[in-house]
Amino acid sequence: MTAYSFYSGLIVFIFGTCIGSFLNVCIYRIPENRSIVTPGSFCPNCKNSLPFYCNIPIFSYLFLMGRCKFCHTPISIRYPFVEALTGLFSLLLFLKFGLTPAMIYWFAFISVLITISFIDLDHQIIPDNISLPGILIFASSFYFLPEMTLKNVLLGILTGGGSLYAIALVYYLVKKQEGMGGGDIKLLAMIGAATGIKGVAFTIFTGSLFGTISGLLIMLSTRTADTRLRIPFGPFLSLGAILYIFFGERLIQWYMTCFVP
C-alpha cells in the first residue's frame, strides 16, 4: 500500500465517522419527530449543549471515558459504534469501488440502512419519512451503477414491495394477525430500487436466514418457546442488502454452481 493510498483511506474513514455522528442524531431524533438540524448536539440527560470538542467522532467518547462532560451520565457505547461502523463501510466501499459515483451512491444507501436498522431495533418502526423518499432517491441507481437499468429499478421496486406484501397478506389470512409491518415492505421496495430483482432475492434469502438464526438464539438464551416473539426484520434486510453490495454476485455464482444442476 502506497502512502497516498493509506492517507486517502484514512481521510475516507474519518469522513465516514463524521457522517456516522450525524446518523446518531437521526437515529435519536427522527422517531421523536424532532428536527435533525436544530438545536445542536446536547446531552439527553442534563440537556446541556455539547461543545465541538465533545463531538469528535470516537475520540470524544474515549477522551470523556464514556460519560457526559457536565452531568457524568454514562454515554451509550452505540454512539462510537455507529461512527466506527459508518467509517468502516466508507473505507470498504472506497477499497472496492474507488472514489467513484458508485462508491458515493452505495455509501449514501448504506448510511440510510444503518439509520433505519438502529431505529427499528429501538422502536420496532421504520419511519415512512426515510423509506418513502428513499425509494425515489435510490431509484436513481441506473444513473450511478452501470449494471442497473430503469426497467430493473422498476421491477426491483415492484418485486421488493410486492413480495413482502404478499407474505404479510397470506400470514394475516392464516393467522388473523399482522406478522410483518408495512415499514419492512417499504424498506424492501427501497432496496429493490437500489439493487434490482437479484438484490431483492438475495436480500430476502439472507435476511430471512440471519433473522431465523437470531430468533432461535434469542429463544434459547431466554429459555422461551414463544414463536410469536417480535424481532425487528429491518436490520436483517439491511444486512442482506449490504452483503449483496460486497459479495452478492460471487455468492450467487457459487450457489448456482454448487446447488443448481
Q: What is the pLDDT of residue 207?
A: 92
Entry pTM: 0.92
Mean pLDDT, all residues of the chain: 89
- Helices 101-123, 128-138: inter-axial angle, 10-degree rounding: 160
In the predicted model, is pLDDT for residue 228 greater than 90?
A: no
Tell me how far apart the alpha carbons of residues 53 and 28 are, in angstroms, rounded to a whole number. 20
Q: Where residue 179 falls among pLDDT bands split at 50, 70, 90?
A: low
d(CA 3, CA 144): 29
Report residue 165's pLDDT band, with 50, 70 and 90 as the boundaries: confident
Backbone angles phi, psi at 222, to 5 degrees: -100, 0
Does residue 192 surpass a pLDDT of 60? yes
Least confident span in 11-25, 69-83, 228-242: 228-242
